[in-house]
Chains A and B, each alone.
Chain A
Amino acid sequence: MEERGSGMGIEIEEKTLPSGLADNIILTQVDKFIGWSRKYSLFSYPFITACCGMEFMSVAGPRYDIDRFGAALPRFSPRQADLLMVVGTISHKQAPILNKIYNQMAEPKWVFSYGACVCSGGMYNNYSTVQGIDTIIPVDIYVPGCPPRPEMVFDGLMKLQKMIQEERWAKWPRGRSQYEPHAKGKGK
């Protein structure tokens, strides 16, 4: 707590306070406190479609252990998640589903683009593959690689946490995705 919290607190001069009180009071700003608590309690929704999922298991498993960063608990309901981990190639058939999942998540929410296919379509530039999910939904952090090493994922996660710490309230709500499901197709 001491070390982690040092970035958010304001130093208190001990001599102005009654004895013992300094150890029990932390002064900070609401934005900073909320940012700090959000960044260490990311509930992720694993949207896993392809081979990157294998590397994600390694990230989540005991050897690399994403729990060390406070982002271990997967919520398989988008309503309870605030970090959308998009792991693996997204096809055009899958795109409306991803869009729907994103819109179902409560704000604040962040999107983690995991792997080359999710960032840009990767090596698939053809009739079936979305050329980067940022053509559909907003993305907060891009981690390319085929698949990315766990170290890269942690680097990305820490950058995301830094971003969350520095966010202002004015950023939220971000609103729904610009696309309604099946806006173009006839729907099923």
Chain B
Amino acid sequence: MGAITQIIKEKFPDVVVGAHEQHGDETVTIKKERVLEVMHFLRDDERTAFNFLMDLTAVDYFGKTPRFEVVYHLYSLGKNHRVRIKAQVAEDDCSINSLVPIWIGADWYEREVWDLYGIAFKGHPNMKRLLLYEEFVGHPLRKDYPIDKRQPLIGPEN
């Protein structure tokens, strides 16, 4: 078990759902209800000091329950180490807490995930589409979005 996984497990024994390590890169899966708490700790604890949210994205495991997984990539500029945090999100309660209060850079990442996957971020200051237009119906990176469905603003539905 990696050092960071160890720290998270010690601090939040009932939050960690799973963990693995590959080529020295640690991944920890946590319960989505506690994501704010865990992230706050990871940013502020001096052993971890993750002051940089490198990436925030989602994965659609269509056909499995829970269906979605939100993936966070954290990096510490001071410690030069990184960790991947995952949180599973069910389709019938398709939301998770926003990380904007912790890392302001989460703003557009979360809007992008909302736009393309339809996962809502609770507490986000401006939860609307980032890339697509407001008239667009649905979330195109969901695996059940029809691959040939087109919604042009003008022009034919080629």
Binding site for A on B (CB under 8 A): 131-135, 140, 145, 147, 149-156, 158
Smallest beta-carbon distance B53→chain A, Å:
26
B158–A93 CB distance below 8 A? no
- Cross-chain contact of B155 among A128, A179, A186, A188 (Cβ < 8 A): A179
Chain A interface residue number, banded: 20 to 34
Smallest beta-carbon distance B138→chain A, Å:
9
A128–B154 CB distance below 8 A? no
The residues of B that contact A131 with a CB separation of less than 8 Å are 158
The residues of B that contact A188 with a CB separation of less than 8 Å are 134
Q: Cβ of A181 < 8 Å from any Cβ of B? A: yes
A136–B133 CB distance below 8 A? no
B153–A96 CB distance below 8 A? yes
Contacts A96-B153, A135-B158, A136-B154: A128 and B140 contacting too (C-beta < 8 A)? Answer: yes
Contacts A127-B140, A127-B145, A127-B149: A95 and B154 contacting too (C-beta < 8 A)? Answer: yes
Smallest beta-carbon distance A94→chain B, Å:
9
The residues of B that contact A128 with a CB separation of less than 8 Å are 131-132, 140
A185–B140 CB distance below 8 A? no
Within 72-121 of A, Cβ neighbours of B (below 8 Å) are at: 92-93, 95-96, 99
